[in-house]
């Protein structure tokens, strides 16, 4: 049926919004049910029951939680679709009403087909007789001229044509809106049955993308992407509950990764976005997607395991080499918050989800011994350099990724400072490997890293500056751990290296090692400036285990580069990191600088 201007005029957009409210209530009920399962039923079951029956019950509860999560997502999408549709149609109603009001004020008649009749007017050029009235239709060309210069045009004609064109445009645009949203609404339906399979989450990812695209003007344009974290915090606080629910349902990716939004909100958004990302990547078979999918699944597994300190997913995404920011402990309520930046070859994969997350968890556990009000974060918010399989030139370790990562890290830490509720939290930035170069880059912006009191550098190839005092926190607040057998802490400067001859694949299966090229032969200049563990740099060096040698009975090993956080393999280093992260650096025993 063709839409008429009368139907558009009489459309009750409030009924669409009323239906949206109904879907919103259904979404909220699903969310409340999911939350009760995750926070009460599963935790209670794990704490009191053991055995096969308990495991089976836990499995059914997890499936029910997944189903409710899907219901929450889809009902939320329906809500926003209807609200967005009403928002767009109301705009066309306003345009139509303005045109009709103009016609009424001019005493023009608007007919059912959209044509506009205008009256005669005074002012003939030759005989002064009234100029005849007429009818402007949408089919007529605007700005009609008389057949000759002897007869003046009726001044009402162009006005009537403008009104006819505006009426037609409003109706035409409203019809397009109706068609576009009808397509979206038709696809927002689930398969029959009581179980939500993985393929359904793939469909949900497509549903979310379609609604996001349609709701761009309704919601997305309101997200303050260019604002400061403090301004974003104020924006979120100023939204109504209904607006927040819609943003979380439709833009979990945006809200979950928006620095300045409270941690609990980011965690909720990212947990939902995690399921959408898993569904999205399950539909792809390329290597990158499958690698990231393995990492996402492992993060999802840990989130569901109920680890302590509790996990908060502060960022997740598949752009570049992948993004993941995980906090053990709530950074908004903790007095002490540390953020660890990983380095070379780190990407969103299963190894990251197991090993890098464990480093933050170890720091959180160690910190809790000294202050229970502590949170430890692993921050993969940038693209760390990646070396290809086999031999790899050290030239991949340039400055560009550190500079970009440093900008992003500053924004993240500004967000932590803005949302923390303790008033004056103790913040620590930890850079490992190339991550120390990224932390170094972050310190070089105005004011340094927002809110950071102490900086820890471990396994560092240099930080881009030659003095600890240049890192913006005072040299007495810069701490360095450098294992004797960690070859990364002895990389030669670019001037010392043999270009293209040195290969290093940190954390990977293969290492090409040339003793005369990699080891720094007595010079304190490393790849990115002065050795942070050197006397010339001027930081405070805490003792660490020397680590296994690079060349041993089992072949080549880079384990000395990866054990700084591990309380089993290097208890002194892990404990020192925990002491510094809780503001107790005076209790850390220091050792001689190089």
Q: Residues 137-183: pLDDT tens digits?
A: 876 444 444 444 445 578 899 999 999 999 999 999 999 888 888 88
Residue 18: CB partners within 8 Å, gap ≥ 6? none
pLDDT of 507: 41
Please say if the pLDDT value at position 505 is more than 70: no
Mean pLDDT of 222-246: 93
361, burial (CB in 10 Å: exposed 0-12, middle 13-18, buried 19+): buried
Cα(47)–Cα(320) distance, rounded to whole angstroms?
40
Mean pLDDT of 34-62: 79
Please say if the pLDDT value at position 200 is more than 90: no
Candidate ranges 334-348, 381-395, 396-410; pick with highest mean pLDDT: 334-348
Mean pLDDT of 32-52: 79
Residues pairing with 458 in the sheet? 432, 481
Mean pLDDT of 109-126: 84
pLDDT of 501: 33
Q: What is the residue-wise DSSP string for 559-594? A: GGGS-TT-TTT-HHHHHHHHHHHTT-GGGSPP----
pLDDT of 390: 39
Mean pLDDT of 285-296: 95
CA atoms within 13 A on the CB side of 554: 5
Counting residues of the chain whose pLDDT is more than 90, the rounded percentage is 56
CA atoms within 13 A on the CB side of 151: 12
Q: Which of 365, 362, 368 is nearest to 562 (CA)?
A: 362
pLDDT in tens, 454-503: 999 999 999 999 999 999 999 999 999 999 999 888 876 554 543 333 34
Cα(403)–Cα(399) distance, rounded to whole angstroms?
6
54-58, 178-182, 445-449: the lowest-pLDDT one? 54-58
Average pLDDT along the chain:
86
pLDDT of 139: 62
Please say if the pLDDT value at position 89 is more than 60: yes
Cα(287)–Cα(291) distance, rounded to whole angstroms?
6
Does 443 or 308 have the greater pLDDT score? 443
- Which tokens belong to 13? 């957009």
Sort residue 413 into left (φ over 0), alpha (ψ -120 to 50) or beta.
alpha
Cα(447)–Cα(413) distance, rounded to whole angstroms?
12
pLDDT of 245: 85
pLDDT of 147: 45
| Angle between helical axes of 52-105 and 13-36 (0-180°, round to 10) | 160
pLDDT of 319: 95
12-26, 182-196, 515-529: the lowest-pLDDT one? 515-529
Q: 388 falls in which pLDDT band (50, 70, 90)?
A: low
Provide the sign of the torsion angle of the four alpha carbons 534, 535, 538, 539, taken in this order.
Answer: positive
Residues pairing with 116 in the sheet? 110, 136
Mean pLDDT of 340-347: 95
pLDDT in tens, 517-557: 444 444 567 678 899 999 999 999 999 999 888 877 676 77
Cα(340)–Cα(411) distance, rounded to whole angstroms?
15
Does 224 or 69 have the greater pLDDT score? 224
Please say if the pLDDT value at position 94 is more than 90: yes
- Residue by residue, what is the 3-state secondary structure of 226-238? CCCHHHHHHHHHH
pLDDT of 129: 76
pLDDT of 69: 80
Provide the sign of the torsion angle of the four alpha carbons 331, 434, 493, 510, taken in this order.
Answer: positive
């Amino acid at each position: 049926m063709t839409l008429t201007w009368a139907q558009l005029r009489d459309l009750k957009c409030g009924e669409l919004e009323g239906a949206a409210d109904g879907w919103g209530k259904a979404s909220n009920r699903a969310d409340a049910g999911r939350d009760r399962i995750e926070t009460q039923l599963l935790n209670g079951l794990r704490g009191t029951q053991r055995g096969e029956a308990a495991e089976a019950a836990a499995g059914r509860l997890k499936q029910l939680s997944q189903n409710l999560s899907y219901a929450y997502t889809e009902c939320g999408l329906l809500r926003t679709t209807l609200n967005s549709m009403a928002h767009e149609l109301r705009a066309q109603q306003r345009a139509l009403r303005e045109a009709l009001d103009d016609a009424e004020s001019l005493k023009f008649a608007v007919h059912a087909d959209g044509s506009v009749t205008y009256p005669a007017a005074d002012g003939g050029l030759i005989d002064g007789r009234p100029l005849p009235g007429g009818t402007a239709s949408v089919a007529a060309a605007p700005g009609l001229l008389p057949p000759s210069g002897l007869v003046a045009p009726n001044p009402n004609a162009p006005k009537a044509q403008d009104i006819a064109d505006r009426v037609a445009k409003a109706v035409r645009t409203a019809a397009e809106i109706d068609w576009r949203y009808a397509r979206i609404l038709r696809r927002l339906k689930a398969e029959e049955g009581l179980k939500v399979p993985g393929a359904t989450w793939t469909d949900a990812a497509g549903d979310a993308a379609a609604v996001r695209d349609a709701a761009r003007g309704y919601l997305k344009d309101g997200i303050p992407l260019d604002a400061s974290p403090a301004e974003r915090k104020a924006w979120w606080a100023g939204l109504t509950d209904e607006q927040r629910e819609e943003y979380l349902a439709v833009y979990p990716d945006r809200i979950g990764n928006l620095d300045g939004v409270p941690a609990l909100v980011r965690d909720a958004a990212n947990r939902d976005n995690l399921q959408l990302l898993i569904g999205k990547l399950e539909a792809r078979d390329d290597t990158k997607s499958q690698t990231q999918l393995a990492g996402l699944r492992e993060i999802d597994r840990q989130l569901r395991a109920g680890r302590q300190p509790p996990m908060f997913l502060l960022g997740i995404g598949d752009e570049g080499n992948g993004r993941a920011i995980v906090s053990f402990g709530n950074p908004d309520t903790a007095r002490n918050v540390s953020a660890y930046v990983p380095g070379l070859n780190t990407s969103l994969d299963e190894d990251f989800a197991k090993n890098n997350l464990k480093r933050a968890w170890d720091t959180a556990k160690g910190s809790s011994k000294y202050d229970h009000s502590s949170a430890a974060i692993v921050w993969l918010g940038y693209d760390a350099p990646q070396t290809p399989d086999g031999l790899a030139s050290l030239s991949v370790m340039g400055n560009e990724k550190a500079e970009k990562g440093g900008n992003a890290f500053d924004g993240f830490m500004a967000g932590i400072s803005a949302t923390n509720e303790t008033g004056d939290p103790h913040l620590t930035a930890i850079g490992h490997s190339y991550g120390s170069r990224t932390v170094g880059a972050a310190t070089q912006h105005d004011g340094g890293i927002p809110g950071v009191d102490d900086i820890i550098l471990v396994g560092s190839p240099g930080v881009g500056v030659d003095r600890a005092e240049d890192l913006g926190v005072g040299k007495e607040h810069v701490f360095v751990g450098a294992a004797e057998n960690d070859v990364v802490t002895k990389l030669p400067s670019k001037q010392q290296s043999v270009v293209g001859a040195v290969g290093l694949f940190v954390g990977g299966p293969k290492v090409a090692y040339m003793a005369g090229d990699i080891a720094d032969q007595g010079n304190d200049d490393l790849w990115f400036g002065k050795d942070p563990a050197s006397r010339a740099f001027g930081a405070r060096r805490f003792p660490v285990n020397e680590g296994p040698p690079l060349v041993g009975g089992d072949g080549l090993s880079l384990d000395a580069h990866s054990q700084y956080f591990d309380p089993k393999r290097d208890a002194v280093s892990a404990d020192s990191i925990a002491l510094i992260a809780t503001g107790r650096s005076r209790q850390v025993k220091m050792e001689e600088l190089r």
